[in-house]
Structure 1
C-alpha cells in the first residue's frame, strides 16, 4: 500500500498529488464524534469541527478554508472548481470536485460511502461514492471533469476507507443496479470498491490503489451504519504536489 499513517491519518503520495484519508483520531471532539469529526452538519460543537478542520489542513498542507467542496446529496454532479467556496461563491449541491488549483485541495466527506481520489499531472479530483452516485455514473463524470480541467493525460486513482463487502448489506433493488459487476458478496453484501475499480478501468484509469479498509468493522473510522446514524465524518482529500 502506498499510504502510510501520519498523525493518525492515512497519507499517500500519488504522482503529482498528495492524498489524505482522515480517520476518527487526532481531533478534539468528544462523545459519539470523538475525535476528528469534520462534519458541520452533525450535532458536534462547531468550534470543535473548526479546530479539527484546521488540523486536517496542517496534514494536507493547505490551510482551511482553501478546500473545494459542496453540499453532498448522493448525486453525480462534479464541480469544475476554479476557486474554493466563499461568501461570494456559496456551497451548491455537488458530490465531487475537480480542480487545477495549486493552492487548494479537493475534499469529500464520508461516514461509510467510498471516497475516490483522482490525480493527473494538471489537476486532482475527489468523489463521494455511495451506491446511488456509483449507479448514476459519478466515476465516469469525475474522470471527465478532471480531464476537462487538467487536460488529456494519465490518471491515477485511490480508493479510501468505506463500508466494504465484508459488512455492507443491501437489498435486491440495490444489487440490481450492479448486476453487471463482480461485486456481490454472499447473500446480501455489496462491494462498492469493486464497482468503483471497474468503473475507473472502464473510464480509462489503469492504476487504482485501494487502502482496503472497512469503516464498519474498523473502529479507527466513523461509520453511519455501525453507529446507528450518530457519528462524525471523515474525509478524502487530494491536492496537487
Structure 2
C-alpha cells in the first residue's frame, strides 16, 4: 500500500500484496463483483476498513461523471464484515464519492483506470477516471463536490494513483482524438495515451493547487491488478481517502 499525505486527509492506494483469498487471485482483491470468493473479498474489505478506521463509501462504477455526496452514515455497523459499505447489493451508479464526515472513507476500485483522491479543508473525494470519465469531466465534478462540502475556497491537494501508464496504454485513433496532443505518444494504431498526465492537467484546470503523481503503471508492474494485461479476468485494487 502507498499513502500520500494531503494535509488534513490521507490518500491510500492498495496493490495486490496481502489479503486473504482461496479463489482465483490469492491476494488483496477488493472487488465485490469479480469472480473471486465473495467471503474472501468481504474479509479483505473489512481489513482495509479497519486499517483506515473508517467505513468505506463506494458507488457502482459505470465510467461516468457522477460524484455522490456522502453526508450521513447509511450503513449499519454490522455491515462491515458482510460488505464493508456495500449493503443491500449494488450501490447507486457513481464514479466518485465525496464526504465531509470523519470516519467515512470514499473509495474507488481500479484495474488500469486512474484512481484520484482530492482533499481540502474538511472534505475529501475518491474518483474513478477511466478514459471516458476523464474525457467527460469526472475530475472537475469531484473537485466541485469537495468545494461544496467544506473547503470554502481553501487550497486543494490531490494524489493520482497507479494506473495504465504511457509506457503500455495503447489506444485507437477514436480514443486518442478525445485528448490533447500533449498526452499522446505516437500515431495511429501505435498511439500511447498518458492518462496520469491528463488527469493531473484536468485537476489543475479545475483549480487544484498541488497534484502528486505516484507514477506507477499497473500494466507492466505486476504488483497491481491489470484488466488489460490479465485479459479482463482480474481483481481490483483501491484508491481511497479519509479525513485525518
Superposed pair shares fold, TM > 0.5: yes
**For residues 26 and 10 of structure 2, what CA distance do their matches in structure 1 show?**
25
**For residues 158 and 192 of structure 1, what CA distance do their matches in structure 2 show?**
14
Contact 2:97–2:125, Cα closer than 8 Å, also in 1: yes
**For residues 38 and 21 of structure 2, what CA distance do their matches in structure 1 show?**
10
Match of 1:216 among 212, 219, 224: 219
Q: Find the counterpart in structure 2 of residue 25 from structure 1.
A: 17
**For residues 33 and 185 of structure 1, what CA distance do their matches in structure 2 show?**
33
CA displacement at 1:100 relative to structure 2? 0.1
CA displacement at 1:223 relative to structure 2? 0.4
Assess, with a 3 A threshold, how the Cα gap between structure 1 residues 165 and 146 changes in structure 2: closer, same or farther.
same
Contact 1:98–1:142, Cα closer than 8 Å, also in 2: yes
**For residues 40 and 90 of structure 1, what CA distance do their matches in structure 2 show?**
9
**For residues 229 and 22 of structure 2, what CA distance do their matches in structure 1 show?**
18
Contact 1:164–1:213, Cα closer than 8 Å, also in 2: yes
For 2:178, what is the secondary structure of its paired residue? helix
CA displacement at 1:13 relative to structure 2? 1.9
| Count of aligned pairs | 229
C-alpha distance after superposition, 1:90-131 (max 9, x if no partner): 710000011101111010000100001001111000100000
For 1:139, what is the secondary structure of its paired residue? helix
In structure 2, the gaps of 5 or more residues are 76-86
**For residues 216 and 60 of structure 1, what CA distance do their matches in structure 2 show?**
27
Contact 1:85–1:91, Cα closer than 8 Å, also in 2: no
Q: Does 1:175 align with 2:176?
A: yes
Q: Does 1:133 align with 2:133?
A: yes
In structure 1, the gaps of 5 or more residues are 1-8
**For residues 26 and 36 of structure 1, what CA distance do their matches in structure 2 show?**
5
Assess, with a 3 A threshold, how the Cα gap between structure 1 residues 147 and 197 changes in structure 2: closer, same or farther.
same
RMSD after superposition: 1.6
C-alpha distance after superposition, 1:160-180 (max 9, x if no partner): 0000100001100001110x3
Q: Does 1:155 align with 2:147?
A: no
For 1:168, what is the secondary structure of its paired residue? coil
Q: Find the counterpart in structure 1 of residue 83 from structure 2.
A: none
Q: Matches of residues 83-232 of structure 1 in structure 2 within 5 Å? A: 83-86=72-75, 91-150=91-150, 151-178=152-179, 180-186=180-186, 187-232=190-235
